[in-house]
Amino acid sequence: MINEKDEKVDVSKRMLFKRAVAAVGVVATAGVAKTLTTAPTDSDKSKNRARYESEARQQERVMLQKRYVVMTDDEKKQMVNEILKNHYQELA
Amino acid sequence: MSDETKERETGDVDEARRDLLKHMGIASMAGAVALTAGSADAEAAVFQEWFQSHYELMSEEEKQECIERLETRYTEEYGKKTTVSNAPALKDVLFGYALDIQKCIGCRTCVHACVKENNQTRYDPEIQWIKVLKMEKGNFSFSEEKLDKGYPETDRLGNFGIQVGGNAYSPVGVSGETERYYEPEKVPEKDSFYFPVQCQQCEKPPCVKACPVRATFREPNGVVVIDYNWCIGCRMCQLACPYEARRFNWGEPNLPPEDMNPKTHYYGNRPRMMGVMEKCTFCLQRTREGRAPACLEACPVGARKFGNLLDPESDVRKILATKKVFRFKEDLNTYPKFFYFMG
């Protein structure tokens, strides 16, 4: 025989279960939605390719009409000295 | 009075609704489990990676834990035993690179060797750290005449000239047309020369200055590296780099397991993720073991030389001492350690 108190407990347990199930449902639905929406589509892939290509084209513009200057012996020595000095200073 | 309150008081719950809810809950849970099944370890590893500290600031134990986590994840993801080295920079070494622009035939073998070695994404698009530019020879001259000219000459009033920096009156050349170089029928092409560009490992790297989170920094051996897990993907370094040497992972990398090189380094060729920057590291996973970079090994004409700038007997120092050398954008004072020379 079920008394009134037990019945109340059952009902509150049931409500708790209901809410837990609802919460899990919401989380799972959000997870599925996220998986579906973030999966890369073909247009995403082509966009990525286009972005990468556009970055590559910037380099071409930069390289246009660039002057290349041969270093003199003094400049080479000076450069090596500066690089080495910087290196040893950093170590010290 | 709401239905819920009424139900609570009376205990009279609609069985059909309860069953529906039950079934929906079970189905949702099953769905969630199915979505994560098989990759639980990998997901956990990714979760931990999101919250890890800057690698340089980690304790030795944390570093070890991080390395093991990465090895486990990569091994699971790519289905092959993957090692992630954390070998430190070699002592008494400062790496420099030299490229013989007269020898380069533009075959791009170096580009493909680099992609293969460094686990770059293979398609949509293939990310390449080395870019070979085909350039018109223009008035390029390899003559030694006037090589030491170009400085203001001393006159009777003394030398009050302004240092113009380099042989400005007689540059080695001014390039005409430049184009990205993809699928040539035959190399080398007439009236063209080839100009491979990659990270110049600057002594004063602008990219390092620009990084707001210090995810990229210069190691004692002169190589600029990136902590991929600390990178926030802001692309400031890419903007700052005058050599356009940095590449951004716009999408999720596409690296087929069969193409993956399982011998990796934390700062080097380990697989990257979407939204982080990457670039050439002079193949640090190889050079830290005393091996040469992959691009150098692959070059069929021996145009590439690599060595220790601290050693006067190294290839690079000998080239600097004896060959005609120029640097790329030397006027920006970045002190690149990548030199172009003419044999």
A44, A45, A67, A71: best mutation site toward chain B, by most B Cβ within 10 Å?
A71
Instruction: List pLDDT tens digits, range B212-266.
Output: 999 999 999 999 999 999 999 999 999 999 888 999 999 899 999 999 999 999 9
A11/B7 touch (CB, cutoff 8 Å), yes or no = yes
Nearest residue on chain A to B125, alpha-carbon basis: A49
Instruction: List pLDDT tens digits, range B299-315.
Output: 999 999 999 999 999 99
* Residues A15, A90: Cα–Cα separation, whole Å: 67
With a threshold of 0.80, does the pTM exceed it?
no
B178/A63 touch (CB, cutoff 8 Å), yes or no = yes
Examine the pLDDT at A12 and tell me if it is beyond 90.
no
> Of chain B residues 189-248, which have a CB less than 8 A from chain A?
195, 197, 203, 220, 222, 238, 242, 244, 247-248
Examine the pLDDT at B174 and tell me if it is beyond 60.
no
Examine the pLDDT at A39 and tell me if it is beyond 80.
no
Q: Which of B79-83, B159-163, B268-272, B332-336 shows the lowest mean pLDDT across its residues?
A: B159-163
- Interface TM-score (ipTM) > 0.85: no
Examine the pLDDT at B37 and tell me if it is beyond 50.
no
A7/B11 touch (CB, cutoff 8 Å), yes or no = yes
Residue B38 binned pLDDT confidence (cut-offs 50, 70, 90): very low
Triad B193, B108, B240: Cα angle to 5° = 80
Instruction: List pLDDT tens digits, range B251-275.
Output: 899 999 999 999 999 999 999 999 9
A25/B25 touch (CB, cutoff 8 Å), yes or no = yes
A25/B28 touch (CB, cutoff 8 Å), yes or no = yes
A63, A73, A82: best mutation site toward chain B, by most B Cβ within 10 Å?
A63
Of B8, B94, B125, the CB nearest to A87: B94
Q: Per-residue pLDDT averaged across A30-52, rounded?
A: 80
Which domains are present in chain B?
95-130+194-342 (3.30.70.20)
Tell me which long-range contacts A12-20 makes (C-beta under 8 A, separation of at least 24). Answer: A12/B8, A14/B13, A14/B18, A15/B4, A15/B8, A18/B18, A18/B21, A20/B25
